[in-house]
Amino acid sequence: MKKHCELLELRLKLDDAITYGTKKDAFSLAKKGLEESRLKNFKGEIEYFKGQLDILKKNFVSAIEHFDSAIKINPFDGAAFNDKALCMAELGFIDEAISNFDKGIEAEPGYATIYHNKGWLLNNIGLHTEAIKYLTKALELEPGRAVTYDSLADAYFNLGQIKKAVGAYRSVISFLKPGCCLGLRKEIAKKIAQLEAKIKEK
């Protein structure tokens, strides 16, 4: 990723908080990122973290404007394309969302999150087989992504591939950080038990 190294860790922490933490944690990290960006006069990062704060407030149109500004400053910022695409999806502009995921992949082909989120969206709009391709690519780039295994399990389930879904759900649990996401662990364990019962019925 072509980003300022000082803020890359903050971006990753923010992504983790959005995925597994609380909204309060995410707000705190986004505000910290904005403060540090301003102190160092990193203009692209300022726009990026402003966009993150807008996403957390569900101000998706404003967030898109900030991500567009970040992309103009750094055309290789895959995360800005990714988050712009997520905003487009939230607003119901699916074709535009997919187009921005593709632009992000072209700009930063080694960034696993873009493949994950494109796969997540494709799965949600019924393109399950295509979704699996992108989710699998995300796992090739970042093998320990619990959240990607969760989406992969859902895609397999939607295709009726129950055994593969169970395997993917087991991977979710194995890759979650110790002591993290107890509610999610229980939810996944329940899904596994239900799916295994279905397999025994056949």
| Residue length of the chain | 202
Measured CA distances, 110 to 2, 81, 114 (Å): 11, 14, 9
The neighbour count for residue 177, using CB atoms within 10 Å, is: 10
pLDDT class of 6 with cuts at 50, 70, 90: low
Inter-residue long-range contacts of 6-15, CB under 8 Å, 24+ positions, other chains counted: 6/36, 6/40, 7/33, 7/36, 7/37, 7/42, 7/45, 10/36, 11/48, 11/79, 14/52, 15/113
The alpha-helical segments, DSSP class H, found in 21-124 are 23-40, 43-56, 60-73, 78-90, 94-107, 112-124
For the record, the structure tokens of 178 come out as 């110790």
The mean pLDDT of 104-110, rounded to a whole number, is: 95
Measure the CA–CA gap between 72 and 39, rounded to whole angstroms.
21
149 half-sphere exposure, CB direction, 13 A CA radius: 19
pLDDT exceeds cutoff 50 at 3: no
Q: In this predicted model, what pLDDT tens digit does every residue of 52-69 receive, in sequence order? A: 999 999 999 999 999 999
CATH number (1.25.40.10, 2.40.50.100, 3.40.50.150, 1.20.1560.10) of 5-109 reads 1.25.40.10
pLDDT class of 119 with cuts at 50, 70, 90: very high
Measure the CA–CA gap between 29 and 56, rounded to whole angstroms.
11
Backbone angle region of 179, left / alpha / beta, with phi > 0 → left and psi within -120 to 50 → alpha: left
pTM equals 0.90
pLDDT exceeds cutoff 60 at 1: no
Residue 35 CB partners (closer than 8 Å, separation 6+): none
List the chain domain ranges: 5-109
pLDDT class of 5 with cuts at 50, 70, 90: very low
- Residue 52 near residue 70, CB atoms below 8 Å: no
pLDDT exceeds cutoff 60 at 4: no
Measure the CA–CA gap between 47 and 71, rounded to whole angstroms.
9
